Structure 1
Amino acid sequence: MNRPIRNLAAASALALACTGAIAPVPVQAQFGGIVYDPTNYAQNVLTAARTLEQINNQIRMLQNQARSLINEARNLESLPQTIAQPLQDQIRQTQQLLQQAQRIAYDVQAVETAFDRQYRGVTLGASQQALVDGAEARWQNSVAAFEDALKVQAGAVANIEGSRSAIGELLSASQSARGALQAAQAGNQLLALQARQLADLTATLAAANRAQALDAAERAAAKAQAREQLRRFLADRPRYVPGQSRPGGN
């Protein structure tokens, strides 16, 4: 019985000796010929995650660049509404009304010639008929100037409705502008509309002042002519001498 016990003890000792001779558990394991390294696997996963993050960053950069290009394209997009041609037509119409001025036109040389002939250079020694004809011509100048002023004022008033419609369109276009260029173009067209309104105002004031100036000049010339006609009237009548009987009297 002692011999089997001794054999069991020897086998146990041999097993313990073999176990002590084996190294610690290796970090690598082999499955069917494939070596699995946990440390290398973790590094590969970390590298893949970093690569994926870089790819996502590049995608976001490309998206931002695409948005920037889209915004730039919108900023360069022209405004579909334009009132340039209607404004030019209205200004041209006002100019035509001014060019249709009767008798004395809006021209410096024409004004100087007319005033030298009909106002400043009135010959008081002319015949009675010549004085009457000159007064009639000056009166017609004044009447024509007032008529011209009324025409220009009517044209300016007619443009008000067009201005109201244009302002509504431009304000709507400005509020719905897709980019900076459209907003700037809408603002520029509003400024152009204001310039046209100022042109109408200038033309109206010019026409009204022209009529008033011709009327004042006509009245000044009429006063000088009236004094001359009064002098002639008094010169043609015999002077009254006290105590002298009238011709044909008792």
Structure 2
Amino acid sequence: MKTRVLSVSLAAVLAGSLLVVQPATAFTVIDPTNLIQNTLTAIRTLEQINNQVRQLQNEAQMLINQARNLAGLDYNVVNRLRSTLATTERLIAEAQGLAYDVAHMDQEFARLYPHEYAASVSGDRMAQDARERWRHTLDGLHTAMRVQAQVSQNLSEDESVLADLVAQSQSAGGALQAMQATNQLLALQAKQAIQAQQLQLTQDRAASLELARQAAATERAREVRRRFLGEGTPYTPQPVRFYGN
């Protein structure tokens, strides 16, 4: 309003000065009302242009913000997670003893851990089976300890991945980058859960092999005892008199 009043006053002064300094021969009639109206129109037009410029600036900033929110995160740790997870999977694949394959494991288990030994099975065969069972138990414990050692080594890599993802999340420029960083943090958590399941699997396998070995050893001892005693009447001790005493 102050600007408009000042503009109107300047226009009035300008119109008056023109009337004063103009010689009679070059006298031009100026309508002060029309001049003031034109000046006000120019001021309004300038304000409209300024408003349009501000609107365009706001729209440009909005587009910039949208582009920032849609910008992808140029950082991916999935391959690192897969690499560390593959190490424990390789150890499980290299496991000796009873296979993790269900069909093959059933056959081996039925042979080495019978509910009872048939009479046709020789003592040598039972001794060989006992030694093989002991070796399977030892292999199961070895596999569990190898997986434990590998998981311990993977923890340092997981800590590095976690630190990198937190840094990426904190420095994310938009919503999409923050979301992608969060998704990778969830992938790290899922990887650790799978790794924990693998470790639990090998530990439970080792414990199951030992329990099965003990059960088979009990059955073998029962069969050996049965064969020693025979099928007839067991021996009954009788007193013996020596030298006629």
Using the size of structure 2 for normalisation, the TM-score is 0.82
Q: 2:69 aligns with which of 39, 57, 75?
A: 75
Tell whether 2:151 aligns with 1:156. yes
Q: What's the secondary structure of 1:220's corresponding residue?
A: helix
CA contact (8 A) 1:118 1:138 kept: yes
Q: Which residue of 2 aligns with 1:203?
A: 198
1:35 CA drift (Å): 2.4
The alignment status of 1:108 with 2:116, answered yes or no, reads no
Deviation at 1:122, TM superposition (A): 5.2
Shift of 1:232: 2.4
Q: Counterpart of 1:78 in 2: which secondary structure?
A: coil
Secondary structure class of the residue paired with 2:29: strand
Cα distance in 1 for partners of 2:156, 2:139 equals 27
Say which of 201, 215, 218 aligns to 1:220. Answer: 215
Q: Percent identity?
A: 41
Aligned to 2:166: 171
Q: Distance in 1 between matches of 2:28 and 2:57?
A: 42
TM-score, scaled to structure 1: 0.81
- Could you tell me which residue of structure 2 aligns to residue 50 of structure 1? 44
Aligned residue pairs, count: 221
Letter in 1 for 2:185: L
Unaligned ranges ≥5, structure 1 = 1-26
Q: In 2, Cα distance between the equivalents of 1:161 and 1:245?
A: 80
Does 2:191 match 1:184? Answer: no
C-alpha change, 1:245 and 1:178, in structure 2 (3 Å) is: farther
Match of 1:7 in 2: none
In angstroms, what is the RMSD of aligned CA positions? 2.4
Counterpart check, 1:239 vs 2:235:
yes
Unaligned runs of 5+ in 2: 1-14
CA distance in 2 between counterparts of 1:245 and 1:228 reads 35
Tell me, yes or no, if the aligned pair for 2:73 and 2:181 is still in contact at 8 Å. Answer: yes
Matched, 1:39 2:33: yes
Matches within 5 A, 1:82-101: 82-101=76-95
| Displacement after TM superposition at 1:76 (Å) | 2.3
Q: Contact between 1:124 and 1:131, CA under 8 Å: does it hold in 2? A: no
